[in-house]
Structure 1
Amino acid sequence: MAVPSAVAGLLRRPARLGDEVYSAIFSRIMALEIAPGARISVDALARELGVSQTPIREALTRLESEGLVVKTHLVGYSAAPQLSAGQFNDLYELRMQLEPFAAAKAAQLMPEAVMGQLAGLCADMSALAHNEGLGAYAQFAQLDMAFHDQIAASAGNRLVLEALARLHTHVHLFRLVFNARVTADALEEHNNIVAAIRRRDSLAAQAAMTAHIEASRMRFAARYQQ
């Protein structure tokens, strides 16, 4: 993920400007520089990033599909509200029902090539865990989302995949707290899941995912105990 240049906040001009704009706005939302529920001005972002409104609108549409942005008719865009305590608990109840099942099925069905991709995501997350700052944290959140989405996609159950996709689980959770433990502690848990899937051990994959979700809930639950 690229970051804004140091000169007046303007973005570099890469071949894929849309991805740069998306990453810049994503990072601001994850870092709470754009607060939950706050209005998002297309004009202001265009001026800040030194681009036209078109890539800004495209990025906001993409972020809306991921649950980070809300578009209201005649009002415009705003950052999605933060999870309430009730929504947090509901989210983890549903994750506990769906994701261990998905991991078990993935152990049976995931192609070898996809296993390699999953291991690659773990390696990328491991590299980021040693970096400091909100930029690296936001990148880790995106990779974490891709990791869980790939397991869900490999389960061979479209309803499970669609249900997990609608939750927008990981981007919401990573907005709750900026804490190095969230990244560092997840690495070993992710590796345990991948190892079980590679062994084609459905029970171990299910258990590893269950342990990961329970540990994740404890890490983020501190946000509601303050």
Structure 2
Amino acid sequence: MSVPSAVAGLLRRPARLGDEVYSAIFERIMTLDIAPGTRISVDAMARELGVSPTPVREALARLEAEGLVHKTHLVGYSASPQLSGKQFADLYQLRLLLEPFVARQCALLMDDAMIDELAGLCADMRALATGETLGSYAKFAQLDMVFHDQLAASAGNDLVIAALSRLHTHVHLFRLVATPKATNAAVDEHDAIVSAIRQRNPDAAEAAMRSHVVKSRVRFGRD
């Protein structure tokens, strides 16, 4: 599964222009080019990307649903604030409760085609982890979000899916450390989770996810 790439300056005008506009703004937010709390002008962003305001509004609505921007009446869109220390701690407490369970369920329930899809995501993330640009970092964060969201969606528990989807975990975390150091170790941890799921070993899948969450907390530097 690939993620549409943002290009410098004016954007091309392909059939899926909306996806490119979304990726361009996503990258700017994830790499802190648009700082947390900064107002995002639809018209200014449209001029910067060389597009009409419509795809910019559509992209911002999508980013709002993912927790990266918020809309204030009569003010417009702004980049969401960073996680506070308490929010960070609370987030990891909840991740440790839910995500190991998700991985266990996936080992029991996930079909082979979806396991192959996750393995493909891991390969794409490995390729991006070798890059040292902020653009590669932002694309890695986007794939990481897809990876974890797909695990949650495959766990067979609608309440868990809803809880994790509201956290917008990965987009917020990757903004805390806008550097490729957060990607390299994560690749091997993702591979270990997928390997355990492929082996239909729920204990190993749960342990691999728990290890990933614990190491992630250390990587993002709030201990």
Q: Given the two structures, how large is their TM-score scaled by the length of structure 2?
A: 0.97
Gap regions ≥5 residues in structure 1: none
- Aligned match of 1:151: 151
Contact 2:32–2:178 at 8 Å: present in 1 too?
A: no
Candidates 2, 6, 12, aligned match of 1:3: 6
Q: Distance in 1 between matches of 2:133 and 2:179?
A: 10
- Aligned match of 2:114: 114
Q: Distance in 2 between matches of 1:195 and 1:4?
A: 34
- Aligned match of 1:190: 190
Q: Distance in 2 between matches of 1:54 and 1:2?
A: 19
- Aligned match of 2:213: 213
Shift of 1:143: 0.6
- Aligned match of 2:67: 67
Contact 2:134–2:179 at 8 Å: present in 1 too?
A: no
Q: Distance in 2 between matches of 1:40 and 1:180?
A: 26
CA RMSD in angstroms comes to 0.9
Local SS of the residue matching 2:176: coil
Q: Distance in 1 between matches of 2:10 and 2:16?
A: 15
Q: Does 1:166 align with 2:172?
A: no
Instruction: Look up the equivalent residue of 2:191 and give its one-letter code.
Output: N
Q: Distance in 2 between matches of 1:91 and 1:136?
A: 25
Q: Distance in 2 between matches of 1:127 and 1:116?
A: 17
Shift of 1:131: 1.2
Shift of 1:179: 2.5
How many pairs were matched up? 220
Shift of 1:203: 0.5
Shift of 1:10: 1.0
Q: Which runs of 4+ in 1 moved over 4 A?
A: none
Q: Distance in 2 between matches of 1:63 and 1:158?
A: 22
What do residues 126-157 of structure 1 show as CA deviations (whole Å, max 9, x unaligned)?
Answer: 01011121110000001111111111111100
Contact 2:193–2:205 at 8 Å: present in 1 too?
A: yes
Local SS of the residue matching 1:175: helix
Local SS of the residue matching 2:13: coil
Local SS of the residue matching 1:71: strand
Q: Distance in 1 between matches of 2:179 and 2:22?
A: 23
Q: Distance in 1 between matches of 2:148 and 2:171?
A: 12
- Aligned match of 1:91: 91
Q: Distance in 1 between matches of 2:115 and 2:198?
A: 7
- Aligned match of 2:42: 42
Give % identity: 68
What do residues 39-89 of structure 1 show as CA deviations (whole Å, max 9, x unaligned)?
Answer: 110010011111111000000000000000101111110000000000000
Higher deviation after alignment, 22-31 or 11-20: 11-20
Q: Given the two structures, how large is their TM-score scaled by the length of structure 1?
A: 0.95
What do residues 90-140 of structure 1 show as CA deviations (whole Å, max 9, x unaligned)?
Answer: 000000000000100010000010000000000000010111211100000
- Aligned match of 1:25: 25
Contact 2:134–2:180 at 8 Å: present in 1 too?
A: no
